[in-house]
Structure 1
Amino acid sequence: MLKFRIIPVTAFQQNCSVLWCDQTKQTVLVDPGGDIDRIQAVLSEEGLTPHAIWLTHGHLDHVAASPDLARQFDVPIIGPHREDLFWLQDLPRFAAQVNFPPAEVFEPSQWLNDGDQLTLGNLTFDVLHCPGHTPGHVIFYEATSQIAFVGDLLFAGSVGRTDFPRGNFNDLVQSIRGKLWPLGDDVRFVPGHGPMSTFGHEKHTNPFVADKNFG
């Protein structure tokens, strides 16, 4: 069974998630953007040690703590898709621009592609490449638990910004409607910011991607 805790980190209150298999205690960190002390506190409370870091996309508030945590725990950084390399190469400039702590350039141990699968103990996560917010954005979906970790693709009542370099609103809508909706209305999702929701709720009410807007 999948267990998880959500930790809002950075000044942008980005949802870093600690995921673990309750049978094996294998653990991953999804999108550790900063505030390492908060992440470490949750790991200590739960008695967990990370086995990997998974990234949905290359934006600063989702990735900045990854190199330090990877070194600390000697674990690989996995994801996002290679199309987000330019974001990872631009982290120091963007950190200075938004008054974040200094951030370092890095590359993941493994890039991800659409259709890849990642294992966490006895659990299997499907990787879906979902461009739009960034060209290399991916999401992680665990079918048994019917839960997805969607980064900045979709929010409760909103969608990800597309005004950053190489963002594309049409791609974003297609990613949500073409890849998320088919997973099922009952799927819960953890967005990159804000509260959880379900695909079904957003499919019917979200002003940007609801079915009623696409007759």
Structure 2
Amino acid sequence: MKYQIVPVTAFEQNCTVLWCDSSKRAAVVDPGGNLERIEAVLEKEGLSLEKILLTHAHIDHAGGTAELANRYGVPIEGPHKEDKFWIDALPQQSQMFGFPSVEVFTPNRWLQEGDKVTVGECELMVVHCPGHTPGHVVFHSQDANLALVGDVLFNGGIGRTDFPKGDHGTLVRSIKEKLWPLGSHVSFIPGHGPMSTFGEERRSNPFVAD
């Protein structure tokens, strides 16, 4: 599995283009906006877009979803159904944060704990990690030792919990009980900022260190 991080929107959100190297089939994870940047990666790498994956439905992660899905005729998988209210509120979110107006959508597949998603011949396990939003999911590739964690965990930080239905205690439990058991060697792509590993965050992250 290969990937390229594509920072999008004024929030510098880490959208990720993930692809199976043997089939050149790709998924776009969290297309918040700036679709031309995402499309440039697909074109440069000669990739065939297969689906869109969503960790959660905040505007900087999900704002470009409907347009990208319509443009390529691809399905949307994720997040967990508990984030439906955030998808329904995308137009209000776009106004509040000064984003271009966006369309509401219904995912082709809601995801839950233990589900599997495929990208070409690669497989990712779904981990439900509520706290930042109630329906937040994480995508974990055991083969690649890689996790896409959205806004659950950052290099040196954790997600905000002051939005509707956010909860700090739940978020900390999600990290310690759902992410740490995946292994200290796992590298992760956060929703914002530089990558890290679970082991490094267990050692030094002031919010969730052992």
1:114: which partner in 2?
Answer: 113
SS at match of 2:173: helix
Q: Aligned runs of 1:4-153 on 2, under 5 Å? A: 4-153=3-152
Q: Give TM-score scaled by structure 2 length.
A: 0.99
SS at match of 1:208: coil
What residue identity is the alignment partner of 2:84? Answer: L
What residue identity is the alignment partner of 1:130? Answer: C
- Report the Cα offset of residue 144 of structure 1: 0.8
- Report the Cα offset of residue 147 of structure 1: 0.3
**1:32 and 1:168 mapped to 2: Cα distance?**
25
**1:63 and 1:49 mapped to 2: Cα distance?**
20
**1:92 and 1:24 mapped to 2: Cα distance?**
36
Residues 94-143 of structure 1: per-residue CA shift (max 9 Å, x gap): 11111111112111111001000011222111000000000000000000
Tell me which stretches of 4 or more aligned residues in structure 1 moved more than 2 Å.
none
**2:190 and 2:128 mapped to 1: Cα distance?**
16
**1:195 and 1:96 mapped to 2: Cα distance?**
28
What residue identity is the alignment partner of 1:146? Answer: N
Is the deviation greater in 116-125 or in 127-136? 116-125
**2:23 and 2:159 mapped to 1: Cα distance?**
34
Name structure 2 gaps, 5 residues minimum: none
Contact 2:67 2:103 in 1 (8 A): no
What residue identity is the alignment partner of 1:128? Answer: V
Tell me how large the CA RMSD over aligned residues is. 0.6
Number of residue equivalences: 210
What residue identity is the alignment partner of 2:201? Answer: E
2:174: which partner in 1?
Answer: 175
SS at match of 2:177: helix
Q: Give TM-score scaled by structure 1 length.
A: 0.97
